[in-house]
Amino acid sequence: MAQTAPPTAQWASPNEAAAPAFSPLYQQIKSLILQALQAGQWKPGDLIPSEIELAGRFRVSQGTVRKAIDELAAEHLLVRRQGRGTFVATHAEQQVQYRFLRLVPDAADAANQGPAERRIIDCKRLRAPADVARTLGLRTGDAVLQVRRVLAFQGVPTILEDLWLPGSAFKGLTAERLAGHQGAMYALFETEFGVRMVRADERLRALAADEAAAQWLQVSIGTPLLSVERVAYTYQDAPMELRRGLYRTDTHHYRNSLS
């Protein structure tokens, strides 16, 4: 029996533009599921309805729903668990806590490195500089939160980071809350502020340590460092974080897998 085009999801506004006519049906279902995730219909860690339930809701075949969910799982937005169902992915899970951190130790026992030790240096609200505002899709002068921290591994300060976050989305975030949180920072963003980072773009370059970086990372001025600028996005490619980090690479290296 021929499938009908999916109706507008109950969470979407009837005034929203419909998917292009040439969009494959499973892509339309994927878009509707993304709309539900963005609207908070299902929170990180929640079990979503079964494929059969979603197929009935969208009036499409179960196979179409499965294909949409397969893509979302491949993009780490959903997680399939055998015999339990499909869940909204969360940075609180151990296997994805540091999915965006690609710095690994040179030693063979990399798996025994353990979690990073974090020191919050500063956390303050200020008006967005032009470059930060442009990157985060804000207006110059809009409120942003700037966080500076050092990450250490086995007692050695290894990463100096500056983060900028939209002030409106992170009201109430303080240095004390950051320091008191034991898990990954992105997990805190999910549970306390309803913001889930789903992908990131990075730019890398080599820099020499200036006086401030040398002090925080306990290296000599002029020591080669890896500069990593990351923009992290939530659903629908909305930028939610600008992060600029300086990495020591005397005992670590940056690793990425390409396919």
Q: Contact at 8 Å (CB) between 239 and 231?
A: yes
Q: What is the pTM of this model?
A: 0.72
Q: Contact at 8 Å (CB) between 232 and 197?
A: yes
C-alpha to C-alpha distance for 197 and 154, rounded to whole angstroms:
27
Instruction: Encode pLDDT of 71-84 as tens digits.
Output: 888 877 888 988 88
Structure tokens at 222: 């002029």
How confident is the model at residue 59, as a pLDDT?
A: 92
Instruction: Spell out the domain ranges in the chain.
Output: 25-88, 104-254
Instruction: Encode pLDDT of 28-56 as tens digits.
Output: 999 899 888 877 788 888 899 999 999 99
Angle, in degrees to the nearest 10, between helices 51-58 and 62-74: 120
Helices (H), 181-256: 185-193, 211-217
Residue range 104-254 forms a domain whose CATH class is alpha beta
Q: Contact at 8 Å (CB) between 41 and 11?
A: yes
Q: Contact at 8 Å (CB) between 237 and 256?
A: no
DSSP state of 110: G
C-alpha to C-alpha distance for 179 and 96, rounded to whole angstroms:
21
Q: Contact at 8 Å (CB) between 257 and 174?
A: no
Structure tokens at 48: 């979503």
Q: How far is CA 199 from CA 230, 233, 235, in A?
A: 10, 5, 9
How confident is the model at residue 143, as a pLDDT?
A: 96
Q: What is the number of residues in the chain? A: 259
User: Scanning the structure block, which residue is given the tokens 């499409």?
Assistant: 60
Structure tokens at 173: 């975030």
How confident is the model at residue 241, as a pLDDT?
A: 96
Q: 91: how many CB neighbours lie within 10 A of its CB?
A: 23
The residue type found at 131 is: D
Determine the Cα angle at 129 with ends 127 and 130, to 5°: 130
Instruction: Encode pLDDT of 191-236 as tens digits.
Output: 889 888 888 899 999 999 999 999 999 999 999 999 999 999 998 8
C-alpha to C-alpha distance for 68 and 79, rounded to whole angstroms:
13
Q: 105: how many CB neighbours lie within 10 A of its CB?
A: 17
Query: Can you name the CATH fold of 25-88?
Result: Arc Repressor Mutant, subunit A (1.10.10)
Statement: residue 88 has pLDDT above 90: no
Instruction: Encode pLDDT of 103-156 as tens digits.
Output: 778 775 555 566 788 999 999 999 999 999 999 999 999 999 999 999 998 899
How confident is the model at residue 74, as a pLDDT?
A: 84
